[in-house]
Chain A
């Protein structure tokens, strides 16, 4: 007794997995459909796609179902699935100035070229539990949809938003025209072979493209906590949101057979944020300019995109003194898959190392057995 018997370990794992499945299934409700999760839990599906690093609402919803709604676990399932997919091609940079806007706001200017679009947001909702939701039926569902669609001048609301614009002027472009923010940097790396954090381990310091990629896959709560530390006092980033956009962007790849031509392989939902922060002056000769921070992630996740932008700005600090300004601190500690994996590994047996610890302690106490 007490010995880790071989058969015991195998049987215990199998029983535990069977129990897990049983607990998910045993209630009186019908099994969740993937469609329900995709349609009614959009933000959760988006979060899993973003943290899992794979844009596929179907697979993300499946992961959510399998993980019983645990977002980190679901992201992990998706990330592992992603490892098995063949890499075929690098897409071209997306044109977010041609986004089919679902929502676009600026907290810098009251009016902006192209106009602000509030779109769907819970920001101005009073967070009062709506008990009527507990009694929703398919009939209420139909009524709500029909009533809303009747109120629209142009019939059914397209999922993808309005048609693709030729291009629009971003708020940052406005400021840039006046020389108030730093000029746009020309792409430093070869656009045909961008930094890819999934193909190489993190070599620090990481270039900006790599930093933004790591933030884009980071866990929402992780980036939020560190960005908040910078906003609140451990750092100096007090951001103004120049622009926050949510919408669909076209993804293109070079045509496999016709050189010089591009082909569209689909559309993805994206949240993109630019923040303007405190004045920076690269040297005394130059006129001061605002500093910029940028964030973009899969799906609709505004807290994450804003946090990313704040951290992007914080990590540009020339003399880092707060945790959020240190890229090693930020980038190596915000990946949800890695941090949760390591955190839970402490549940594994540590009999040998603990025995070694005991030996040392007893030795140090001078009463070794």
Chain B
């Protein structure tokens, strides 16, 4: 045998549609069905290696790959932005292996894969949000062992979680968790809502879309079906709050009710604010003033 014999005969070697083989996709879908049936429950799955590094969205990517069909329209965002380097990279891989159409307009997408954000425009029935999750276990905050956290979920033993929130309030005056804020899903399991900022949590609660969450490295998928309650853990006398952007507006589109990123001018060093959701920001700019209401309708 020579080295040449080992080389693939064709240089344009084709991978399967959406990279994963059909057996692997079916395995992911089986896990997803279970996840949808038990909202907020983390379902283990095999999570084979992808050509993208662990921690870079392999969980979300496997969910998308196992669901995408030739007629789907994809939107891939990272930090709310279609052009963020990792979103570009994931989109390139998905387009190269499927040839499906992509969009920057969240309303057009049938499948929307995101890291750290939900789009500003509430999603509709029939749309699927796929969230990339680095750390699926909300109880990791209080318990390092996986064996132990699985037991705690099974028994609904969430006392230590509540105590940790209480201690946080005692020490800091309010809950200091900024993202990935623990939520109770369907009044049952406590779930880590990807690392969404608190701003986005209401977009999961009684939502019209199906939300699927994939953690590739930790090999877990979980789901929030449409019209399912997602309530952040809060005390009766200390309500949950979201990020405060009072008095600020987007320097590009003028929106005053979006999640705003703080940016610093490269030359003057002066700070300003822009929409984190770049697709939304562009729509508002194109549609000129008053677009925000129209977009939501």
A3–B276 alpha-carbon span in the complex (Å): 10
User: Which stretch of A133-141, A248-256, A295-303, A332-340 is in the interface?
Assistant: A332-340
Q: Which of A59, A87, A203, A369 contacts B44, CB < 8 Å?
A: A203
**Partner-binding segment picked from B82-90, B184-192, B289-297:** B82-90
Interface centre among B54, B84, B177, B276, by most chain A C-beta atoms within 10 angstroms, is B54
Q: Judging by beta carbons under 8 Å apart, are A355 and B46 in contact?
A: no
Interface size of B as a range = 35 or more
As a 0/1 sequence over residues 245 to 271 of chain B, the CB contacts with chain A under 8 angstroms (1 = contact) are 001100010000001111111110000
Establish whether residues B55 and A342, one from each chain, have CB atoms under 8 Å apart when the complex forms: yes
State whether B15 touches A345 (Cβ < 8 A).
Answer: no
For residue B81, CB closer than 8 A to chain A, the reply is: yes
Interface flag for B157 (CB, 8 Å): no
Q: Does B53 contact A (CB under 8 A)?
A: yes
Q: How many residues of A contact B (CB 8 A)?
A: 58
**Chain A min CB distance to B125 (Å):** 26
Instruction: Find chain B residues with CB under 8 A from A83 CB.
Output: 20, 24, 48-50
Which A residues touch B104, using CB under 8 A? 6
With contacts A9-B88, A364-B174, A369-B248 taken as known, whether A352 is within 8 angstroms of B259 at the C-beta atoms is yes
Chain A 1-34 per-residue mask, 1 if CB under 8 angstroms from chain B, else 0: 1111111111011000000000000000000001
A200 x B3 contact (CB < 8 A) = no
CB distance from A303 to the nearest CB of B (A): 24
| Residue numbers in B under 8 Å from A5 (CB-CB) | 83
Q: Within 8 Å of chain A (Cβ to Cβ): is B147? A: yes
A4-B53 CB under 8 A given contacts A9-B88, A84-B19: no
State how many angstroms separate the Cβ of A101 from the closest Cβ of chain B.
24
Contact between B219 and A355 (Cβ–Cβ < 8 Å)?
no
Task: Give the complex CA separation of A84 and B50 in angstroms.
Answer: 9
B residues neighboring A (CB under 8 Å): 3, 6, 15-16, 19-21, 23-24, 44-51, 53-56, 58, 78-89, 92, 104, 115-117, 134, 145-147, 172-174, 176-180, 195, 197-199, 217, 219-220, 243-244, 247-248, 252, 259-267, 274, 276, 278
User: 6 closest Cβ contacts across the A-B interface?
Assistant: A341-B54, A345-B55, A6-B83, A201-B219, A341-B53, A342-B55
